[in-house]
Structure 1
Amino acid sequence: MTTTIHWDQTFPLLRLEGMGAKDFLQGQTTADLSGLMAGVLQQSCWLTATGRLRALLELRLDATGADVLVLAGDAEAVRRGFDQVIFPADRVRLGTSSLQRRLQGLDPAGPAFWVGDDQPLPEELHGSLRLENDALERHRLQQGFPPGPEEMNGETNPLELGLTNRISLDKGCYLGQETMAKLTGKGGVKQQLRCWRSDQPLQPGDQLKVGSDRAGTITSALNTPEGTLGLALVRRQFLDLPSLQGPADQAVILATPAAFQAPAS
């Protein structure tokens, strides 16, 4: 199926040099890289030791090391964090940082491409419209991906944000693995990301409620001609409700992002 719109954006890129790059990333990030082939893009998460999401990464291995694209999060924090835990026995060192242009079809969602700044669109994206500014942000909010700064607020974990398919529970020890195992083994997380819309204006930080009970928090908002839409973190006991109330009793309609929806049978 031909895509109709695409994402074209430049992201920070970190370089890891050395034969130990794959093993280093296997222990520092959440995806299982054991079977990852050179040149294939793999998304993964970088967590704190307690499982909080610090960055969403896209990794590419090659014969001499690995490239780490920071899709969401603070690239300099990733670089500092890696630098603090690299030891001579790891057989890896930090190389230069750069910027990388990344393309991806969005409707329907397709594979990502890393290309040069002046490189033409891949054949798969020919004829599609590039989304920019508010149009791109609107698509992000309607899909719930990728997480923005207020979703990655230092307190959230990837399971709350719909990034479960970037998490391996079987590959062995990695930074934050113990918390991921506990959360999946105890019946889930305390909150989840939801898309929302309202006829009334709302802004990040606004509290959502059901009567007098706190039900969640607005994390992202965009004003459109049809009203306001965005993302919110909603407490688990209220996830099945079709709507919540804003701080001034605004009606807030909820929708479940695709990452939390069961695949069609």
Structure 2
Amino acid sequence: MTQDQTLKAELAAATSGVAVYDRSAWGRIEVSDADRLSFLHNQSTNDLKHRKPGEGCDTVFLTSTARTIDLATAYVLDESVLLMVSPGMTEKILSFLDRYIFFADKVKLTDITDQTYAFSVFGAKSHTLLAQLGAAEMIGQPYGTHRVFTIAGQAVRVAIGSGLVTEGYTLLAPTPLQSALVEAGATAIDDATWNTLRIRQGRPMPRHELTDTYNPLEAGLWHTISFDKGCYIGQETIARLDAYNGVKQQLWGVRLDKPVTVGDSVKIGEEKVGTVTSVAPSEGGELPEPGKGAIALAYIRTKAGGAGLTVQISDSVGEVVDLPYLTRVAHRASSKPRQG
């Protein structure tokens, strides 16, 4: 099977079937002790103080000037909070959080990445797989909800949400689980396939869309931000941008007739209006010939326009499109978790 055929087969499983993606390379940090919820509440964008055990949400860690560090998922347990952070970001998040633990704070940080494994299952048949594994009661629960089940002879925490907009689940286990999931009917996908999926959906990642150049409003992460919870690191800048419509650039998808390169300029005529941050093979569509085009993520100046805009990138013609992961001012959610 060629690389293109493998990609198509894995993408098909991730949409119409059921796929499993090994996310064990993503960091897992245990935040414990009495002040854990209030501490994380004050260090990230979402409302964590009022979460109960068994609940979870996505949240963003920011610099003091509201530049993005990472998009993380927080699962509230009985005695701790489990943070799942992006690959390669564990040490950076640990260092960031440790800097804000003061003498009187009752907070303990523990890197448990090497002691645990993480897998996401997603696709139209993911619910069937979950029922087969004995966790049918999780089907239809709110985003971030999680509880422990016995799967393949071990205690596995099953959470609602796949890391993408695609319906699915994340499984956190003490030992490898992928073989059991494949035996149950899931198709294993690799990093390249997951990256293609996340670009097609618009999920931003560190070192691409989440950098010290951009803030979470520009990155389309409005659904991860509580606008009424009070102070947190970067909150003043976020509040000011929100109040004065100060978002000067926004993350969009661009459907292209030819492949382009990360870092290429997005232009209207001779004027540069943005920059490409990620590129993946296109699903086809009206603009590119099927299999020959690309889908890119790009930050584009707000004043230039949005969905429907025609742009040029290198020698490729592109159409700016909205993508399902991205949320904006016009349809931002409250601080409640997005259902997925």
1:15–1:94 Cα contact (<8 Å) kept: yes
Contact map agreement 1:243 1:251 (CA 8 A) in 2? yes
TM-score scaled by structure 1?
0.87
Give 2:122's aligned amino acid. G
1:200 aligns with 2:217: no
Letter in 2 for 1:101: A
Cα drift, residue 148 of structure 1: 4.2
Match of 2:213 among 155, 170, 177: 155
Match of 1:16 in 2: 31
Aligned to 1:129: 187
Alignment partner of 1:247 is 2:314 = yes
Q: TM-score, normalised by structure 2?
A: 0.69
Q: How many angstroms apart in 2 are the aligned matches of 1:132 and 1:188? A: 38
Contact 2:262-2:277 at 8 Å conserved across structures:
yes
Does 15-24 or 196-205 show the bigger shift?
Answer: 196-205
1:91 alignment partner in structure 2: 106
Deviations along 1:110-136, one digit per CA (max 9) or x if unpaired, are: 34332344346999xx64433323322
Is the CA contact 1:102–1:112 (under 8 Å) kept in the aligned structure 2? yes
**Residues 1:102 and 2:119 aligned together:** yes
Structure 2 counterpart of 1:233: 299
Q: Is the 8 A contact 1:72 1:147 kept in 2?
A: no
Q: Distance in 2 between matches of 1:72 and 1:189?
A: 28
Change (3 A) 1:81 1:133: closer
Does the CA contact (< 8 Å) of 2:31 and 2:110 recur in 1? Answer: yes
Flag the 1:209–1:85 CA change in 2: closer, same or farther, 3 A. same
Question: What is the rounded CA distance, in whole Å, between the counterparts of 1:252 and 1:139 in structure 2?
Answer: 19
State the AA in 2 paired with 1:14: I
SS of residue in 2 equivalent to 1:79 = helix
Instruction: State the 4+ residue runs in structure 1 displaced beyond 6 angstroms.
Output: 120-123
Q: Distance in 1 between matches of 2:177 and 2:313?
A: 46
C-alpha distance in 2, partners of 1:39/1:223? Answer: 37
Which is worse superposed, 64-73 or 178-187?
64-73
Cα deviation 1:181-238 (Å, max 9, x = unaligned): 1111112511111112323231111001111221110101235642232211111122
Matched-pair contact (CA < 8 Å) for 1:57–1:71? yes
Match of 1:143 among 193, 197, 201: 201
Unmatched segments (≥5 aa) in structure 1: none
Structure 2: tracts of 5 or more residues without a match: 1-15, 125-165, 283-290, 333-340
What RMSD over aligned residues (CA atoms) do the two structures have, in Å? Answer: 2.7
Instruction: For residue 173 of structure 1, report the CA deviation from its aligned partner.
Output: 0.6
1:3, distance to aligned residue in structure 2 (A): 6.0
Go from structure 1 to structure 2 and tell me whether the alpha carbon gap of 1:161 and 1:202 turns closer, same or farther (over 3 Å shift).
same
